[in-house]
Structure formats: C-alpha cells, structure tokens
C-alpha cells in the first residue's frame, strides 16, 4: 500500500492520543481571569486543527489578515458488482488574505486554493453519469483550483470578484448538499452539474446585496476552459466563449411550533451558454452537414430549509434540500434534473456533531437524443446515504453507501452498489 494511504490511519491513532480530555485534564491554571480567558480561547482554537494554533502564531496571522487552512481527504471505495476496490485522495491548501486587516485596501480580499489529487477511485468502473466520488478526478501533484480578488463597494452593497473562479462556490449553492469533502460524495448530489456548466476558470462576478433577504448575482465565465489550465488561450476568444449567468438568492424563515426560527435559502438562476452544439434531429454520418445551434438557455433552482432545531442557536436538527434544472432538449443529452434529500445533525444521544444524510437524484435524458441518437439512453437515478462521524474537532470518518440505477443513463445496463469511506483531516 502506498505510504500516502497510511495517513488516515495515523491521524486516527493521533486522534485518540490527543483527545482534549487527555491533553488538559490534569492541567492546573492559576492565571488571572483575563489571561485565563485568552488561554482558553487559544486552547479551543488549537483543538480544531491537528497541528494546533502554532503556539498562537496562527491566531496572530489571522488577526493580521492571513488565514491558512490545510485539509486532507482520503477515500476508499468498493464496487460490489465487480468486487473492485480503489483508493483516492486530495489535499487542499487555502490562503485567504484580508487586505483591510493588513491596512492595504478597505473592503478587499483574495483567495488562493492550491490542490493536489490522486486516483479516480471506482468512478471509471461504475460507468455512471454522476461520479460516486466527486473529489476523485485525476492524478495531479499540484495545481491551482481558485485564485481571485474581491473588492466591496458602498458599504458592502456591491462586491466584485475577478480572477480564476470555481463557479460552484457561487452558483447552485446549498446548505445541506454542496461539499463532497464533508457531505454527499456523489457528483450529482454535490451540485446540479448535469444541467449547469459549473466551470473553473477565468471570470467575473458582481454580487448585489440588495437587502438582508435578497442577493443578486451577475457574472460571466470562460465556458471553454479546462481544469488545471490558466485559460488565457480561451477566455478572450470573444462573446462566443463566455457563459453569462444571473441568479437571485433569497433568505427567509418561519417559526416552529415552539417559536424557534427555521431559516431557509431559495436560489433561482438562469444562464446562457453560447457554445454551438449539434441538433439531435439533424444527426448525419457527415459531421460537416449536421445542423448546429448556439445560444442555449437554461434555468435552475436550489432550496434548503430547516425543519427542526433543538434550540435557536444550536445547529442540531433536521434540514431538507431540493434542486431542479432544465436545458433545451434539442441540443443537450440531459435536459431535466432533480435531487432532494435531508440532513440531520445530532441524531444520536451524546453525538451532537455527527451528521446523517440521505439524498436522491434523477438525470433525465433528452427525448430527441433518445429518438435520433441512442434509443437506450433514458435516465440515471441514484441514492446516497452517509453518516459523518466527528471523531475529534479536526478528524471525521464518513461511511457511505450509494445505489445507482441505470448507470450512464442506459436502460440496458445493470444497477451498481458502491460502498465508501471518507477520512477528512483539518490541519
């Protein structure tokens, strides 16, 4: 077994040895109250990360405007039908710079995300439209996943972001289904990328914070860029290479029978994809004679709503989510998509930070595509169940099971069952 696969096992062992109760149970502290409060705060901050607070240096850097956040994710997958098991892993290093704290520029900030990935896990063998392990994309030692600059204007009513942007951090967000390293592992439960062209590349986004309950988002993105490429050779090819999008994020809440507020987020979006695509009904053995059409418009929605909270301040409780999207079925292989599910935090006694999640998705094939191109292409439907175990504040273990019906959207293909285990370490 490669040495990097042993990292989760070593961190699990360290988690037991470095539990807060072991580390601080016998410590006597006769410091004055103010100094004791500071030490307690630093100690709490230290327990959130495996490497601690660097004797206060980390907190000092954050107060000065630099936040460094390293993470490691390990995945083990089993494809039961073929008896295949695979490993994969990813490492993320975030540098967040607050230029206002640094005294350089008011209302300005920047983010740099450096990433490393290894292995595709069982994704190729599963043959699904939705990769069971969304974080297992390719082998790349080091690459930049995000690098952008953002400036706020008019008392943060307007925010402009420019640079190398991951669009899934802006569009189609969801409180309960939007992080493959902490929540659902399946690509189609992490995002609605069956419908929305969620690109990583050069772009610009304007956030308009109209009111406390309404935020408008306008932006453009390089629709031709490929991951791990800077995109300078595609971003400036003219209007034909730029995706445009407009979204509205609404916040609301309703009162539970006990009077506690139940917050919710309701997001609506529309996008324009200029790329020319072949019209399915005009399929021809000669590609040069096929009809092409550009200017594809699609829309989506993404809702999340809390249904039950233990207390007003406590995040423990039940929340649900729903996604839907549509694109022109004349030129897109998948024309409709929906997903739904729930998350429950603190379901078991004395396990307040553990999270149970259950989600469903269905990606529906285009009728013209089935009629004129592939009569076997219908839909792909998936189900995922996970339980995220908070071993320590900096270590989580997540057993996961996924059932995929008609993988690849093909009616003739048998369903698959995938078991997974995720280990996440916050350094």
Residue of 201, 107, 114 lying closest to 159 (CA atoms): 107
Q: What is the pLDDT of residue 161?
A: 96
Instruction: Tell me, yes or no, whether 293 lies in a domain.
Output: yes
As given in the structure block, the two tokens for residue 421 are 């285990």
As given in the structure block, the two tokens for residue 299 are 């829309």
Residue of 317, 316, 324 lying closest to 340 (CA atoms): 324
| Residue 34, pLDDT above cutoff 70 | no
* C-alpha–C-alpha distance, residues 39 and 56, integer Å: 9
Binning the chain into helix, strand and coil, the percentages to the nearest 5 are: 20, 45, 35
How large is the average pLDDT for residues 279-286? 73
**pLDDT category of residue 139 using cuts at 50, 70 and 90:** confident
**pLDDT category of residue 12 using cuts at 50, 70 and 90:** low
Q: What is the pLDDT of residue 113?
A: 95
| Residue 331, pLDDT above cutoff 80 | yes
Percentage of the chain modeled with pLDDT above 70: 84
pLDDT tens by residue, 209-265? 989 999 999 999 887 776 666 666 665 666 667 889 999 999 998 877 776 789 999
Q: How far apart are the first and last CA of the chain?
A: 23
Residue of 138, 144, 133 lying closest to 188 (CA atoms): 133
* C-alpha–C-alpha distance, residues 201 and 423, integer Å: 28
Q: What is the pLDDT of residue 400?
A: 97
CATH of the domain at 121: 2.40.160
What secondary structure letter does DSSP report for 281? G
Q: What is the pLDDT of residue 233?
A: 61
- Identify the domain containing residue 162 by its residue range: 66-326
Q: What is the pLDDT of residue 171?
A: 87
**pLDDT category of residue 42 using cuts at 50, 70 and 90:** low
* C-alpha–C-alpha distance, residues 166 and 291, integer Å: 32
Global pTM value: 0.86
| Residue 404, pLDDT above cutoff 90 | yes
| Residue 283, pLDDT above cutoff 70 | no
Q: What is the pLDDT of residue 193?
A: 82
Instruction: Tell me, yes or no, whether 47 lies in a domain.
Output: no
For residues 80 and 286, the model is more confident at 80
Instruction: Tell me, yes or no, whether 254 lies in a domain.
Output: yes
Instruction: Tell me, yes or no, whether 27 lies in a domain.
Output: no
Beta partners for residue 268, in sequence order: 248, 301
| Residue 418, pLDDT above cutoff 70 | yes
Percentage of the chain modeled with pLDDT above 90: 57
Instruction: Tell me, yes or no, whether 390 lies in a domain.
Output: no
Which of 98-107, 197-206, 313-322 is the most confident on average? 98-107
**pLDDT category of residue 321 using cuts at 50, 70 and 90:** very high
User: Across all residues in the chain, what is the average pLDDT?
Assistant: 85
Which of 12-16, 17-21, 84-88, 285-289 is the most confident on average? 84-88
Instruction: Tell me, yes or no, whether 137 lies in a domain.
Output: yes
Residues 6+ apart with CB under 8 A from 2: 87
How large is the average pLDDT for residues 137-143? 85
Task: Tell me the C-alpha to C-alpha distance, in Å, between residue 417 and each of 132, 379, 382.
Answer: 10, 17, 10
How large is the average pLDDT for residues 58-63? 91
Q: What is the pLDDT of residue 288?
A: 65
Instruction: Tell me, yes or no, whether 223 lies in a domain.
Output: yes
Could you give the number of structural domains in the chain?
Answer: 1
pLDDT tens by residue, 377-389? 999 999 999 999 9
Instruction: Tell me, yes or no, whether 253 lies in a domain.
Output: yes
Cβ neighbours, 10 Å, residue 228? 15
How large is the average pLDDT for residues 279-308? 83
For residues 315 and 108, the model is more confident at 108
**Lowest-confidence pick of 204-208, 243-247, 309-313, 332-336:** 309-313
For residues 313 and 148, the model is more confident at 148
């Amino acid at each position: 077994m490669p040495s990097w696969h042993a990292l989760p096992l070593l961190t699990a062992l360290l988690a037991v040895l470095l539990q807060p109760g072991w580390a601080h149970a016998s410590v006597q502290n006769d410091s004055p109250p103010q100094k004791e409060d500071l030490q307690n705060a630093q100690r709490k901050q230290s327990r959130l990360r495996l490497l601690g607070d660097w004797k206060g240096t980390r907190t000092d850097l954050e107060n000065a405007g630099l936040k460094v956040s390293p993470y490691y994710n390990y995945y083990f997958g089993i494809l039961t039908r073929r008896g295949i098991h695979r490993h994969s892993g990813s490492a993320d290093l975030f540098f967040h710079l607050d230029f206002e704290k640094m005294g350089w520029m008011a209302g300005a900030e920047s983010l740099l995300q450096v990433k490393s990935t290894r292995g595709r896990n069982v994704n190729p063998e599963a043959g699904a439209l939705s990769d069971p392990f969304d974080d297992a994309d390719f082998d790349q030692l080091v690459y930049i996943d995000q690098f952008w600059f953002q400036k706020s204007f008019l008392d943060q009513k307007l925010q402009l972001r420019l640079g190398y942007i991951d669009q899934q951090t802006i569009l189609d967000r969801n409180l309960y289904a939007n992080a493959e390293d902490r929540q659902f592992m399946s690509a189609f439960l992490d995002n609605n990328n069956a419908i929305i062209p969620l690109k990583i590349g050069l772009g610009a986004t304007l956030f308009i914070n109209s009111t406390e309950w309404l935020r408008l988002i306008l932006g453009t993105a390089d629709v031709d860029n490929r991951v791990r490429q800077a995109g300078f050779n595609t971003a400036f090819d003219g209007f034909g290479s730029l995706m445009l999008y407009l979204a509205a994020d609404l916040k609301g809440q309703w009162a539970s029978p006990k009077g506690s507020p139940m917050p919710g987020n309701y997001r609506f979006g529309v996008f324009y994809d200029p790329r020319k695509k072949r019209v399915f009904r005009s399929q021809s053995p000669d590609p040069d004679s096929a009809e092409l059409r550009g200017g594809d418009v699609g829309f989506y929605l993404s809702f999340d709503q809390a249904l039950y909270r233990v207390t007003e301040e406590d995040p423990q409780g039940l929340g649900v989510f729903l996604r839907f999207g549509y694109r022109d079925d004349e030129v897109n292989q998948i024309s409709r998509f929906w997903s739904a599910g729930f998350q429950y935090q603190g379901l078991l006694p004395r396990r307040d930070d553990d999270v149970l999640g259950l989600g469903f998705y269905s990606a529906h094939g285009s009728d013209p595509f089935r009629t004129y191109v592939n009569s076997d292409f219908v839909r792909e439907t998936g189900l995922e169940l996970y339980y995220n175990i908070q071993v320590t504040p900096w270590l989580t273990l997540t057993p996961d099971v996924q059932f995929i019906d008609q993988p690849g959207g093909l009616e003739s293909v048998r369903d698959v069952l995938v078991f997974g285990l995720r280990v996440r370490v916050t350094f």
